[in-house]
Homo-oligomer: A and B are copies of this chain.
Amino acid sequence: MASESVLRENLATSVRILTMQGLIGLFGHVSAYEPERGRIYFSPSKGADKATVKPEDLVVADIEGNVLEGNGPVPKEWPIHTAVHKARPDVLAIAHLHPPCSTLFSIVSATYRPVTLQGAAFGDGIPVFKEPHLITTPALGLKVAKLMGKKRALLLRGHGTVVGGRDVEEMLYLNLMLEDDTRKAAQAKPLGKLQPFTPQQCRAFEAEEPLKPRSQRAWHYFSQLEARWDRQPPTGTALFV
C-alpha cells in the first residue's frame, strides 16, 4: 500500500497528465482511497487550474464526503466517488471526466464495444446511467455504483465517464485507453461496420497481457512527458472537458 505522500504525489501527477492529454479541465475530478484510514483524496474543484495541481492541493474527505483536510470543498459530484469506493473494495482510484470521445457513446443509441486490443479492458461493456442529473447526492451516487456493478467504467448520459482502477496508475491507463478506443471507433465508423472484439476475446487478451505492467509502462512514459510539459493551454481548440 502506498504511503500518503506517494499517494498524494501520484494522484496530483495523474491530474496533470490528464490535463496534458485533454481529459480533464474545467470539469472532471479524480480520487484515491486509503481504506485503512478511511480517507479519500480528491483533486481540487471550483475551477482550479488542473495543469499545476500539486500534492498539497488535494482535499481529503471521509467516506461520507465530510472534508477532513485541505483548502476548499470536495468536488460537487463527490457522491460518485464515495459510493463507488464503498461498493468496490478493488477500486482504489476513480476518475469522473468529460472526455471528448468516451462521452460520445453516452449520447447515441449505439452500445459501446471495444474495437482495439487496449480497449479490451472494457470487454465486459460499459453501462449508461440515463437520468439527466449531476450526481450530487448520496442517493444518486448509490444508483451509479449499483449500475456500474463490477464493471471498470460507467457512462453518464450526455455528461461523461466514471472509471475505476486498482491504483492511480491503472486508473490513468484505463482512462487513456478508453478515450483512444472510443476515438478510433467514432472515426472509423463512417468507413464501414465496426468489428469489435467479443467478451471472450477481451478476457483472453487480458489473460495474455496483464494490465499491471502495461499501466506501469504508460505511467513511466507519460510522467516523463508531463515533467517537460510547458503547461500551455492549446490555442484554437474549444476544449471544454
A: which residues have CB within 8 A of B?
19-23, 25-26, 46-49, 51, 99-101, 103-105, 107-110, 114-120, 132-134, 157-159, 176-177, 179-180, 183-195, 197, 201, 204-205, 208-209, 217-222, 224-226, 228-240
Given A132-B117, A209-B134, A237-B236; A224-B179 close (CB under 8 Å): no
Task: Using known A-B contacts A184-B107, A238-B23, A238-B180, determine if residue A191 contacts B191 with beta carbons closer than 8 Å.
Answer: no
CB atoms of A103 and B184 under 8 A apart: yes
Chain B positions within 8 Å of A205 at CB level:
132-133
Copies of this chain in the oligomer: 4
A240, B176: Cβ atoms closer than 8 Å:
yes
Tell me the bound Cα distance from A159 to B109 in angstroms.
Answer: 26
Contact A26 B221 (CB under 8 A): yes
**Given contact pairs A23-B238, A47-B218, A107 touches B158 in the complex (Cβ within 8 A):** no
Given A25-B221, A159-B117, answer yes or no on A187-B104 (Cβ-Cβ < 8 Å): yes
B192 and A190 contact, CB distance less than 8 A: no
Known: A21-B238, A107-B115, A229-B233. 6 other contacts (CB 8 A): A25-B221, A49-B221, A132-B197, A190-B190, A228-B232, A229-B235
